[in-house]
Amino acid sequence: MCGIKTIVTTVGRPNQHSFELAEKACKALELPFIERKKKSLQKIAEEHHANLIVAGKLSYEYLPFESEEPFFFHPSSAAFRLKRIARGEHEPFLDVAKLQKGDTFLDCTLGLGSDSIVAAYAVGDIGLVIGCEGNPNVAFIVREGLRSYDRAQLPLLSCMDHIQVVSSLAIDYLKQQQDNAFDVVYMDPMFEETIEESKNFSPLRVAGLQNSLTDEWVEEAKRVAKKRVVLKAHFRSPLFDQYHFKRDIRYNAKFHYGVIEL
């Protein structure tokens, strides 16, 4: 959240690993550490007028100032989508993106990374998946979550290891890339219209940066993409027609995909 500082603290009953995680967050993001001292997270946030990164016993949570729900990493829909893909079932995102083993994929709107996880599975070990996240706190939480999430019962999620998280606005990152740098460039401006059923994204709607698609963003994406640019948006979105995406209509689905072939 712009204009509001961020501090690091721990859960109420931290162990040694909690303090190690807190130190790691402080170093990575150059943030101060505040001892918990039995205070509630809300009290600490109010006293310091700050967002909080909370180091737990195994992982992190991010509590934006005045938010009631913390943001934490979980693979969201990626887990069951990967199971369906492994069974040879239909996956609309891959049908449109047409990713092949060894492809390079840029996710301009990483969020929780569910689509990037599916992309990483599709491109395999020899491919490359990079996800941009404009909020450095969210980028840190997702980066660490991708590395440390317990996938003992979900071996398909091992592909998460191959995702690189970049803390940058998408447009800034795109401008730094050469022409045709990625096979596929993907954009999901998920804040364009709220879907009530998507409750698992509520904390991200507070924590994430809400940037709208622009002419410059689309043109840079087309320059950087070698094969195609893919858009995910609400089925009522004007973006498909505005930017000439060929829409993949999915009846009874809240979101549609669009593609620009290059």
The residues facing 234 across adjacent strands are 255
Same CATH fold assignment for domains 5-63 and 78-261: yes
3-state secondary structure of 127: coil
3-state secondary structure of 81: helix
- Amino acid 204: pLDDT: 57
* CATH 3.40.50.10480 is right for the domain spanning 5-63: yes
- pTM to 2 decimals? 0.91
The beta strand positions in the chain, using DSSP E, are 5-10, 50-55, 60-63, 104-107, 128-133, 163-167, 182-187, 225-234, 246-248, 255-261
Pick the range with the lowest mean pLDDT from 141-155, 205-219, 248-262: 205-219
Per-residue tokens: 68: 């009631």
Distance, in Å, from the CA atom of 231 to the CA atom of 139, rounded to the nearest integer, reads 21
Spans of all domains in the chain? 5-63, 78-261
What percent of the chain shows pLDDT beyond 90? 77
Pick the range with the lowest mean pLDDT from 145-159, 196-210, 236-250: 196-210
* pLDDT digit string, tens, across residues 16-66: 999 999 999 999 999 999 999 999 999 999 999 999 999 999 999 999 998
Please name the fold of domain 78-261. Answer: Rossmann fold (3.40.50)
3-state secondary structure 33-76: ECCCCCCCHHHHHHHHCEEEEEECCCCEEEECCCCCCCECCCCC
* pLDDT digit string, tens, across residues 181-216: 999 999 998 654 444 444 445 555 555 555 688 999
Average pLDDT, the chain: 90
